[in-house]
Structure formats: C-alpha cells, structure tokens
Amino acid sequence: MNVPLLKITGLSTALTGNEAVVRAIDGLSLEIARGETFALLGESGCGKSMTALSVMRLLPETGEVTAGTVELDGEDLLAKSEKDMRDVRGRRVAMIFQEPMLSLNPVMTVGAQIGETLARHTELEAAALEARVLELLTAVGIPDPLRRRDEYPFQLSGGMKQRVMIAIALACDPELLIADEPTTALDVTIQSQILELLRELQRTRGMAMLLITHDLAVVAENAHRVAVMYAGEIVETATREQFFSSPAHPYSRKLFDSLPGARRRGEALAVIRGSVPQLTQEFRGCRFADRCDQVSARCRTALPAWHDLGGGQGVRCHLFASDAAGAVAPASEADRVPGGVTASVAASTDAENAVPGPLLEVTDLKIHFPLRGGLFQRVTGSVKAVDGVSLTLHAGRTLGLVGESGCGKTTVGKGLLRLIEPTGGRVLYAGEDLARLTRSELRSRRNQIQIIFQDPYASLNPRMRVAEIIEEGMLALGIGDSGRDRQRRIDLLLDEVGLAPEMKLRYPHEFSGGQRQRIAIARALSVEPRLIVCDEPTSALDVSVQAQILNLLKSLQSRKGLSYLFITHNISVVEFLAHEVAVMYLGRIVEQGAVEAVLHAPRHPYTRALLSAVPQIDIAGGVPRTTIRLKGDMPSPADPPAGCHFHPRCPSAVPLCKQDYPPSSGDDTHRLRCHQSMGS
C-alpha cells in the first residue's frame, strides 16, 4: 500500500482568548496522496485556514496544537523543532495565502522576494540565482519578466501578484502545496489562468496540493478528492465524482441547493438558517443540528459516528447509522424558501413590476480623472475610468453590470449617485437629469437612489449602533415624523431583512458578514428608494450567506417594485437575479441586452472569453469546455488603445479594429460593439 504524502491524524488546535478557549480544529484526520489535489470545503469560520496554519506550524501566538499528528512522508512535523521546520517550509511544504498584497513585502522588489526563498533553501548564488528567478517568473506566466523582476508589488495587478506568490511557493519544488483560497479576490478570467497554471505545474512537477476554498465550481474543476469541514471537524469525504453526483451529509446538500444560476431564476435559493456555532462550547450532539432540516432528537444528545459508505466516501451523520433510514431526504419547499419568499412570488416579479418607460437612462456617461505632474502639478493627461457608457433600466427590473476589475463598474455606480462627479453625459432618473442638478436639488432626491457597498464592515460606522446607522439617513433626508416613528420604522426594516428588532442596540462588530450586509440593506431601504446600486454585495460572502442576501433582494424587489443596478463579476448571480446584463471593458460597454441573449449566445469576443473562464460544476462527461485565453492584461485607462479597446487581446482582431472604435449594432434585446459582428 502506498504511504500518503501527508497524513493528519486526530489533529486538534485551540486558540486561547480572554474569556474562553476556541477549539478551532477538533480531531481532524485526512490523507493526501502524492500528485493529488485534495479540496477542503466549507463556510468561513469552519477551521479550513487554521488547518493549513497548523500543518505549516504558523499559528498565531494564542494558538496551540493540543493533540494529533501531522506526518509528511512519515515524519511528524509537530515533533520537529522550529529550526527544523524552517527547513521544511518553502522547501518541502509551501503555501499560497489568500491575500497576496498582505503576504508580499511592499518594500522589496519581486525578484528580491523570490531570491530570498532560493537563498534560504538552495546553494544558488549570484548569476545562477538571478537566472532561476527569471525562470520562475516565466514559468508562472509573468509578461516581461526581466522588467517585472525589479518592480514592487504595488506596481502589479492582482493576478500578477498572485502569480508572484505562486513563484515564491514553487521556487524550491515543494512536495506539497497548500493553496488557501488562491483565487477568491480575482476576476474569473484571472482565476481561470491561475487555476490552469496550478494544474499544469502540478502535472509537470508531480506535487500534491491541498486546495482550501468555498467555491464548489473550483472544486469540481480541480480536485481529485473532497473533504467538507464544518465547525472544526470533517463531516464528509468523497472522491470528486461521488461528491458531485451524490453528496451525503445534509450540510453538503444544502451547499449545492444554495448555488444561484439560470435554472433557479423562478425560485428562491435554499438557505442554511443560522450560522456556524461558536467553537468555545463543548458539543453534546451533532454540530449541524440547529441548522439541519432532517434533525432528530438523537442529533442533539449524541455525537454522530463516522460511517464508511464505500468507495472512499464517508460521512459523520446519524442518518447513516444502521438503525436509521440510510438516506437523506431532500428538504421540503417550506424549508428551502425562508422568510416567506415563495417560488411563485419570485417568478411573478417581471409581470407585477412591468411599467412603461425607463426609470433610469444613462447616455454617454464619462468620468475622467486628471493626471498631474511636474513642479506645478499641471494636468498632463487623464484616466478615462468611464468613457461613454449608456444604460437603460426599467422600474422593478435588475440590470447586471459585469466585467473585470478595473473596467470602471464601481465608478459607474458612484457616478450615477454623484458620489463621483461625472465629466460628461446625461443621467436621467424618472426623466430628470441628475448630472445637471445643484447640490441642494440633488440632496432632496438622494432618497430615490441608494447604494449597497461591497464590504459592509468598511461601510458601517463601527462607533455607531445599528439603530443610529439606519436612522442617520432618515434624519438627513427628513423621513419620519418623530424619533418614536423612526424607531418603529427601524424595527420594521430589521424584521423585513430578517434581523430581530432588539439587534438595533448592537454594534457592527457583533454581527456576522451576512448580518452586516443585511444591516446595509436596511439602511438603504430606510429612505424608501426606488433604485439601489448594489456594488458586489455578495462577493465576500460564503455561498450559503450569499443565498440569503440574494433571496432577500429578490423578495424586496417583488414586494416593493425596487430596481437594482447589480455590479458583480459573478456570472451565476447575474443569471439568477438579473433581467438584463451589460458587459463592460476598459470604461465602455461592449455588449448588452437580455440575460438569456447575452449569456447564452454571446457575440462579442470579450464576452465569450469572460464566460468561457467561469468554472462549471459539470463532471458528467459532457462536451469539454474550451477556455478562451486572452493575451496580456487589460490596458491602462490612462492610455487606452486606438480603435477598439479590446483589439490588443482579441483573438479575432482585424486591421480595422486597430483604427476605428466599432459602432453599436444589433436590436433592443441584444446590442454590441464589434467590427466582426457588423455583417452577422
């Protein structure tokens, strides 16, 4: 029998706090074979990253491994001295952290940081070391490696910073690579490139990989085996094929039911009620019992045993005990649809909210930022963040705005509200041009358009209680007859977004990420808007919490007739929530129309490349998906290319593309700007 490369047995890790001990990992066991990709899946707070830090012996000062063994090729890493572990880290086991900007040294060049690892673990010096640095930068796909070697992290894009992290991790050909959410903060195109790079490097080097993620589609495309982690312990293991064809644990099944997409447009997503339990307690029963649809009395009083289902699949659940039914029944519709949102209500949104005439008409919107230089800081150029965007949004509808980071999506949203002043163009709201209003005139209309920001924690004042946060806008805009009336409205708003009214006396830090986003939604609703700009409101959330927020937004739209400009790079969210979609590239809209037309029959080369890069949960052996690889990175909006902005990266570019920007073509349901489509 082959000895596994990594064997973790009964691992327990505790964090000592001021008031209690947090049992972050409790009796975890798993094995990873050589050359295998093993995915560790679960919500935030389940202990995934703490598992990686325990293996690397990089726990915070308050952390301690209290039990178990971590064997690398038969050697127990927990028994090694710190001096010996320094020889293991980077050379035999390497780690890619979730946020490269926090992991890279901002005052060291890229080449120096890679060279530091090589100098620590190899005998390379001088010219040989420099040659190896360039070789690694080339291997991870960094363009112009000779120039990039001498640049600092702030000079690189997010995708390139992550590639540098990979180069550092792979510098000494490790046997095991731990990748902790390596693509969470990246666009789908960059994510696809990074994952393909990891797969190729794994094939050529034969290394094993522990892939930590909460993205089921990433797991489907990359993993050989899967372990689902919940509240500090493994609740299910399986091969990739077993897991995606017949997930066993109720928690695993709920994760699948929480996924948005086109097939769920007419219904609400399943929601895992509650949140991951506090790990400071001693558990007497199943840790998932309070959130499980199939819970029984035994689940609350007895710890579930591990059951081997055969073929490499196992599960920790009472439902698979010899005296149980042996199968998990699907959740009922009542369980699957929380908060009174029903499939029929969600599906009826279009008909109920259809009104003549657009609510919002944006024509040729431009937002340019001046570039200054020289002793007198004269204007030397401009960053064309938004360069002639036109959009139309009807009442009660959702327009999805998608594109890579840096294309100008968020700037469009802020420009509509004049949080950033437009340089040119018209923004007609209910027939009135917001771009031409004075500050006092605009203030009286602020309640009509609100915004929900990407990071709820950063957008909520940490020194204010929830009631004060929500009431602030009401006071500024004169909404509510009295303090008592406003408090009554706040209670109703909190109930409407699924929070208890008594929570209004708490501070933002006392809530989970999903709850904070609900507070942000309540704040936006407090002034009774008709249009809400949603700027990546679910990108930082787990799939189960994302489902709660998407259901809430859909329910509010159905009941209140709200309109949403939904800014995102998550295509599945657009398929589930939006009616129309606009694809943005380098400050301009390149394709727009009905969701079905644009996403199911894309005509612009950029849209095709964007959609081809989206990971898919499809392991049934269907038609192989071809990913379109784009050349280079998005050009700078300070110096956009002549002609079509996309032509330097376009696989179908012709000489005309370099000369003239293409005019708009198509019909009311599907329009695009592409010279190749003019004759189609």
Residue 185 pLDDT > 70? no
Residue 680 pLDDT > 60? no
Handedness of CA 473, 476, 481, 485 (dihedral sign): positive
Angle at 170 between CA 168 and CA 172, to 5 degrees: 95
pLDDT at 387: 94
The DSSP 8-state label assigned to residue 89 in this structure reads B
Instruction: Note whether 552 and 642 are same-domain residues.
Output: yes
Instruction: Note whether 501 and 373 are same-domain residues.
Output: yes
Model confidence at 530, pLDDT cuts 50, 70, 90, reads very high
Q: Examine residue 570 and state whether it is found in any structural domain, yes or no.
A: yes
The distance of Cα 448 from the centroid of its chain, to the nearest Å, equals 29
Instruction: Note whether 484 and 607 are same-domain residues.
Output: yes
Of 286, 307, 340, which closes a domain? 340
Least confident of 295-299, 397-401, 497-501, 615-619: 615-619
Q: Examine residue 193 and state whether it is found in any structural domain, yes or no.
A: no
- What three-state secondary structure class fits 6? strand
CB 591 within 8 A of CB 400: no
Quick one: three-class SS letters along 351-407? HHHCCCCEEEEEEEEEEEEEEEECCCCEEEEEEEEEEEEEEEEECCCEEEEECCCCC
Q: Examine residue 535 and state whether it is found in any structural domain, yes or no.
A: yes
Instruction: Note whether 255 and 282 are same-domain residues.
Output: yes
Residues 6 or more apart in contact with residue 539 via CB below 8 angstroms: 454, 568, 569, 570
pLDDT at 322: 81
Give the pLDDT mean for 394-398: 95
Give the pLDDT mean for 479-487: 91
Residue 80 pLDDT > 90? yes
pLDDT at 620: 57
pLDDT at 325: 53
pLDDT at 108: 94
Give the pLDDT mean for 67-93: 94
37-67: pLDDT as tens digits:
999 998 888 899 999 999 999 999 999 999 9
Of 156, 173, 190, which closes a domain? 173
Q: Examine residue 237 and state whether it is found in any structural domain, yes or no.
A: no
More confident position, 98 or 289: 289
Q: Examine residue 71 and state whether it is found in any structural domain, yes or no.
A: no
More confident position, 355 or 540: 540
Model confidence at 338, pLDDT cuts 50, 70, 90, reads very low
Q: Examine residue 586 and state whether it is found in any structural domain, yes or no.
A: yes
pLDDT at 619: 59
Residues 518 and 499: their CA atoms lie apart, in Å, by 8
Model confidence at 514, pLDDT cuts 50, 70, 90, reads confident
Least confident of 344-358, 496-510, 657-671: 344-358
Instruction: Note whether 390 and 459 are same-domain residues.
Output: yes
Instruction: Note whether 529 and 390 are same-domain residues.
Output: yes
Give the pLDDT mean for 628-637: 80
209-265: pLDDT as tens digits:
999 988 898 899 899 999 999 999 999 999 999 999 999 999 999 999 999 988 888
CB 672 within 8 A of CB 644: no
The dihedrals phi and psi of 144, each to the nearest 5 degrees, come to 50, 60
**pLDDT > 90: percent of the chain:** 57
| CATH number of the structural domain spanning residue 534 | 3.40.50.300
Our CA dihedral for 542, 543, 546, 550, rounded to 10 degrees, sits at: 180
Instruction: Note whether 528 and 443 are same-domain residues.
Output: yes
pLDDT at 336: 37
Q: Which of these, 67, 31, 25, lies nearest to 48 by C-alpha position?
A: 25
Q: Which of these, 194, 116, 196, lies nearest to 157 by C-alpha position?
A: 194
pLDDT at 506: 92
193 to 159, 251, 405, 524: CA distances (angstroms):
9, 30, 15, 37
Across the chain, mean pLDDT equals 87
- Specify the pairing of strand 208-213 against strand 37-41: parallel
Residue 330 pLDDT > 60? no
Residue 482 pLDDT > 80? yes
Of 173, 198, 233, which closes a domain? 173
Residues 473 and 419: their CA atoms lie apart, in Å, by 15
594-599, long-range: CB < 8 A, 24+ apart: 594/669, 594/670, 595/262, 595/400, 597/669, 597/670, 598/670, 599/262, 599/571, 599/574, 599/575
Q: Which of these, 624, 650, 623, lies nearest to 635 by C-alpha position?
A: 650
Instruction: Note whether 334 and 389 are same-domain residues.
Output: no
More confident position, 313 or 406: 313
Instruction: Note whether 579 and 637 are same-domain residues.
Output: yes
Give the pLDDT mean for 464-475: 94
pLDDT at 308: 95
Residue 350 pLDDT > 80? no
Q: Examine residue 525 and state whether it is found in any structural domain, yes or no.
A: yes
Kind plus residue range of the DSSP H or E element containing 347:
helix 343-347
Could you tell me the residue range of the domain that residue 517 belongs to? Answer: 355-677
Least confident of 1-15, 127-141, 369-383, 593-607: 369-383
Instruction: Note whether 400 and 269 are same-domain residues.
Output: no
664-677: pLDDT as tens digits:
999 889 999 999 87
Q: Examine residue 346 and state whether it is found in any structural domain, yes or no.
A: no
pLDDT at 355: 46
Instruction: Note whether 115 and 260 are same-domain residues.
Output: no
Instruction: Note whether 329 and 361 are same-domain residues.
Output: no
Q: Which of these, 262, 671, 581, lies nearest to 393 by C-alpha position?
A: 581
Q: What is the number of other CB atoms lying within 10 angstroms of the CB of residue 47?
A: 26
CB 648 within 8 A of CB 641: yes
Number of domains in the chain: 3
Residue 125 pLDDT > 90? no
568-580: pLDDT as tens digits:
988 999 999 999 9
